[in-house]
Amino acid sequence: MLQGVLSRAPATESPAAAAMKTKRAPASPDEEEEGERRPARGKRQQLLGLGSAAAAAAAAEGPETRGLWLLSLLLRCAEAVAMDQLTEARELLPEIAELASPFGSSPERVAAYFGDALCARVLSSYLGAYSPLALRPLAAAQSRRVASAFQAYNALSPLVKFSHFTANQAILQALDGEDRLHVIDLDIMQGLQWPGLFHILASRPRKPRSLRITGLGASLDVLEATGRRLADFAASLGLPFEFHPIEGKIGHVADAAALLGPRHRQQQQDEATVVHWMHHCLYDVTGSDLGTVRLLRSLRPKLITIVEQDLGHSGDFLGRFVEALHYYSALFDALGDGAGAAAAESAERHAVERQLLGAEIRNIVAVGGPKRTGEVRVERWGDELRRAGFGPVSLAGSPATQARLLLGMYPWKGYTLVEEEACLKLGWKDLSLLTASAWEPTDAAAAATPRRGSQET
C-alpha cells in the first residue's frame, strides 16, 4: 500500500522527489477518482500537516488511511532527521512503533523496518558516530540465518532466480566453444547460482576439460563449505572442478594474479575467465569501489555479469530515504502476493523481510553516503565499466527468453520485464527493481551494436 501511495504523485525537481524518478504503478480506481495528481512535494506537505487528532481518526478508519498516516509519520521523522531536529524525530518514533508491525499488513511491515532504521539513525546522530556498513564477517549463526532466508526468498520471489538464470545464460553464450572455464564470483555466499550452470555444461555434447570457480566472501568457513557442496555436485555430473576460496573483498585484492591463480599462468592462452556479481545492500561487498574498478581493468575478463538493485545510494539523506521507501514498499507488496496464507509461508516471508530486506533498509537509512567505507561509492556500475574499457553485451535472445519463462512460472501478475539498452530490467507493477547487464572488453565489443531503446514484455 505504501508503494501505491508513493506512486500517486509525479516527481518534481525537489531533491526528495528526484529520487522517485522511476516508473509508477497504475493507479487504483479510488486513486483515479481523486482527479488531478499532486506533485510529490505537495503531497508530502499535505501529509505533514496532519495533527494528532487526525492520527487517531486515520488509524480507526481503515487500512488505507492507516497506511497514509504511517507514511506521513515516516516522512515527518525523516525530514526531522535531515534537518537535524533530533528531538522531534525521537518523539515521532514511539508512534511509528505503535502503529507498525513486522507481522501486519504490507504498509505496517514496511513501516516497522523503516522505523527501526530511523531509530538507529537518530541514535547515531546523537552519538555523532556512524558504524561502517557491516565490514566485519557475519557470525556463523547469522550466516546460517541469512542463508536460510535467501533460500526462502528464492522460493517466494523470482528476483533471485532472475539474477541467476539471466547471468548464467549470458555466461553460457560467452563461453560457447570454450573448454577451460574460470568463474570469479565477487560474493559467492552459498553458491546457489552455480549448480544450474554446471547442469547445462554437463548436458553439452563436449564437457569442459577444466572448470574453476574463485569465490570471495567474508568467512573462510562459509567459503569452504560452499566449495565442498559445489565440488560434490560437479562430481555427480562428471565435471572436473576446482574451487579457490578468497576471504576478503575484491577491492582489497592487491594483484589480479591472486584471483587468477597459478593454474591460469600455466594455461592462460586457452582459459576463459568471467566475473559475476549480484549486488545487494546487506553488507559492503567491494571494500573499495575504486580498487574494484582497477582490478577489473587489470583482469580484462571475457565477460562481466552484474545484477544491480535499481536503488540510488548517493545524494542527501531525505532523497535517499524517499527512494528507499518507494523501492522496499514495492518489494514488500510483491512478497505479500507471493507468500500464501499458510503459516509456513508467512514464516518464510517474515524471515526474508527480517534477515534480508530489513537489514538492507537499516544499512541504507542508518548508515549513509561516504561514511559507509570512507570513500565515494560507484552509483551505477554500468557507467563505471564503460569508463574502464568495457562495452555492453545485449541480453536479448536466450537470457530474455529464460527470464520470460521464469516469470510465467509464477501465478501472480505484478512482475514486469523490460529490455532496455542491452540490459534486462525486472520490476513490480512498473517500478524497476533489478537490472541485469553483461560487459566485455571494448576491443571485442566494437563489432557488436547492442539493441537500443526499450521494449516491455
pLDDT of residue 273: 93
pLDDT of residue 343: 65
Fold of 158-313+374-441: Rossmann fold (3.40.50)
Nearest by Cα to 354 from 130, 113, 178, 68:
113
pLDDT of residue 324: 94
Sign of the Cα torsion 131, 137, 140, 144 reads positive
d(CA 221, CA 207): 30
Which residues share a beta bridge with 390? 441
- The end-to-end CA distance of the chain, in Å, is 25
Beta carbons within 8 Å of 409's beta carbon, 6+ residues apart = 158
Beta carbons within 8 Å of 316's beta carbon, 6+ residues apart = 15, 82
Beta carbons within 8 Å of 219's beta carbon, 6+ residues apart = 137, 138, 140, 143, 247
What is the torsion angle, in degrees rounded to the nearest 10, for the CA atoms of residue 427, residue 296, residue 220 and residue 193? 40
d(CA 85, CA 370): 22
Nearest by Cα to 305 from 203, 453, 197, 204:
197
Are 427 and 159 in contact by the 8 Å Cβ rule? The answer is no
Q: Which residues of the chain have pLDDT under 70?
A: 1-63, 128-140, 254, 261-269, 337-344, 368-376, 443-457
pLDDT of residue 289: 82
Residue ranges covered by each domain of the chain:
61-129+318-369, 158-313+374-441
pLDDT of residue 190: 87
d(CA 246, CA 118): 35
d(CA 327, CA 348): 21
pLDDT of residue 51: 43
Q: Provide the whole-model pTM.
A: 0.80
Sign of the Cα torsion 350, 3, 310, 81 reads negative
d(CA 281, CA 342): 29
What is the torsion angle, in degrees rounded to the nearest 10, for the CA atoms of residue 360, residue 364, residue 367 and residue 368? 150
What is the torsion angle, in degrees rounded to the nearest 10, for the CA atoms of residue 442, residue 446, residue 447 and residue 448? 80
Say which amino acid occupies 145: R
